[in-house]
């Protein structure tokens, strides 16, 4: 059934529930001298290219490939439209490798027709911190689908990850592959219900009018929590401590240091927003919330072309109730003109989703590890990892 994935060091469906298999790496590392030195072969009309995301021109090509060919919802009404600034941020974290930003071009026209990326991350699984690659942005042009290009791209990124002496990876996908460590659901909180209904993202509830719906989702103009403010550079040490202390309770989470926090969580306009609560009395940083900006193209609507979506990222509450903190996040997202606020049912998110009027989405998001076995699937609340 999975001709490619059956050959890979991932949890196989036939091994589900086999308690004799140990947790941890499935295959040991091989000596670097035994890693294939040449790229895998592509069908002859195509060639490999390393995408330099510092180059305005290359970044534009990647942006356009994804804008036209990346992930759509099941009904093909929306398609992710990652911005160039977002792609630069996502692909250049501390210690990134340019060689992991892999493109495929048509040899004659030089047109970019496929893409896959990795970035390095330290991921903690129970009490072990493992160097991994986070794999993302796998995309094959619509006209080249179902030709088995994806397996070649996955093997090539794996080879380049191995060349850096890294042997594990983490990734998410909307499709079921062998074998998810957990399966999450997206929840959506309307901020601009009229537009969401007009574009078919949501529907008017039974016995609801538009004006009752707008009233239902109305939010205060200002956050309620005293000391709630935007995160600044000087907050990096305190936010790192807060976040490390919080994330250690989950079975799988990133092992963030101060450099990672500066990169991934310090606010970047139209890419990532972070807020914290500074105690007005003690000036302690007690709570934190963040979201990233990922618009979607609206396919074939007369009135609107972009859906502006915020995605819940990492949130920590120690003093402010999480419900109140996230309500303040909704308020600032609304002020920034987002149409919808999305969140997965990971970490403690289930404690606020229903009360803050999030509704369950249809698509599921499956989380995977490569070459690392987890004996039993996790509950979504045991997962402390959000990928972009």
Q: Which residues are catalytic?
A: 388
121 binds Mg ion (CB under 5 A): no
190 binds ligand YNC (CB under 6 A): no
Q: Name the pairing type of β-strands 296-298 and 306-307.
A: antiparallel
Per-residue burial over 10-43, b if 16 or more Cβ lie within 10 Å, else e, is bbbeeeeeeeeeeeeebeeeeeeeebeeeeeebe
110 binds ligand YNC (CB under 6 A): no
CA 172 to chain centre: 8
Looking at the Cβ atoms of 118 and 193, the one nearer to ligand YNC is: 118
Q: Which does 199 bind (CB under 5 to 8 A by kind): Mg ion, ligand YNC, none?
A: none
Looking at the Cβ atoms of 142 and 281, the one nearer to Mg ion is: 142
158 binds ligand YNC (CB under 6 A): yes
150 binds ligand YNC (CB under 6 A): yes
Q: Which does 177 bind (CB under 5 to 8 A by kind): ligand YNC, Mg ion, none?
A: ligand YNC
Q: Which does 136 bind (CB under 5 to 8 A by kind): ligand YNC, Mg ion, none?
A: ligand YNC
Piece of the chain touching ligand YNC by CB under 6 A; list 84-92, 159-167, 265-273, 353-361: 159-167
4 binds ligand YNC (CB under 6 A): yes
Piece of the chain touching Mg ion by CB under 5 A; list 9-17, 120-128, 147-155, 278-286: 147-155
Piece of the chain touching ligand YNC by CB under 6 A; list 167-175, 211-219, 278-286, 355-363: 167-175
Piece of the chain touching ligand YNC by CB under 6 A; list 19-27, 149-157, 323-331, 345-353: 149-157
Looking at the Cβ atoms of 111 and 212, the one nearer to Mg ion is: 111
Size of site (CB under 6 A) for ligand YNC: 34
- CA proximity to 99, closest of 118, 114, 115: 118
Distance between the two ends of the chain, CA-based, in angstroms? 28
147 binds Mg ion (CB under 5 A): yes
Nearest approach in angstroms of CB 241 to ligand YNC is 31
Q: Which residues bind ligand YNC (CB under 6 A)?
A: 2-5, 69-71, 133, 135-140, 145-151, 154, 157-158, 161, 166-169, 171, 173, 175, 177, 370
């Amino acid at each position: 059934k999975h001709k490619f994935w059956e050959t890979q060091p991932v949890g196989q469906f036939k091994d589900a529930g086999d308690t004799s298999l140990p947790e941890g790496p499935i295959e040991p590392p091989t000596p670097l001298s035994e890693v294939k030195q040449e790229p895998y072969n592509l069908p002859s009309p195509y060639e490999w290219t390393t995408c330099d995301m510092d180059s305005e021109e290359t970044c534009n090509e990647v942006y356009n490939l994804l804008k036209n060919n990346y992930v759509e919802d099941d009904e093909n009404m929306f398609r992710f439209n990652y911005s160039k600034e977002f792609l630069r941020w996502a692909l250049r974290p501390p210690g990134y490798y340019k060689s992991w930003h892999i493109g495929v071009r048509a040899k004659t026209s030089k047109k970019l027709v496929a893409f896959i990326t990795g970035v390095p991350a330290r991921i903690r699984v129970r009490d072990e911190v493992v160097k991994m690659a986070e794999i993302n942005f796998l995309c094959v042009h619509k006209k080249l689908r179902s030709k088995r290009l994806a397996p070649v791209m996955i093997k090539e990124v794996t080879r380049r990850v191995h060349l850096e002496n890294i042997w594990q990876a983490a990734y998410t996908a909307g499709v079921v592959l062998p074998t998810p460590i957990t399966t999450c659901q997206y929840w959506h909180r309307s901020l601009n219900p009229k537009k969401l209904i007009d574009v078919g993202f949501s529907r008017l509830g039974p016995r609801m009018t538009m004006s009752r719906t707008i009233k239902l989702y109305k939010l205060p103009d200002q956050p309620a929590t005293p000391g709630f403010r935007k995160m600044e550079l000087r907050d990096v040490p305190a936010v790192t401590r807060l976040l490390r202390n919080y994330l250690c309770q989950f079975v799988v989470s990133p092992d963030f240091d101060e450099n990672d926090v500066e990169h991934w969580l310090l606010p970047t306009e139209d890419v990532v927003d972070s807020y914290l609560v500074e105690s007005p009395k003690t000036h302690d940083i007690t709570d934190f919330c963040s979201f990233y900006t990922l618009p979607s193209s609206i396919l074939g609507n007369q009135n609107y072309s972009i859906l502006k979506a915020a995605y819940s990222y990492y949130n920590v509450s120690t003093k402010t109730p999480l419900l109140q903190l996230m309500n303040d996040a909704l308020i600032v997202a609304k002020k920034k003109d987002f149409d919808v606020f999305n969140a997965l049912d990971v970490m403690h998110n289930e404690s606020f989703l229903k009360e803050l009027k999030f509704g369950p989405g249809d698509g599921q998001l499956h989380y995977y590890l490569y070459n690392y076995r987890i004996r039993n699937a996790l509950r979504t609340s045991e997962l402390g990892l959000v990928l972009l």
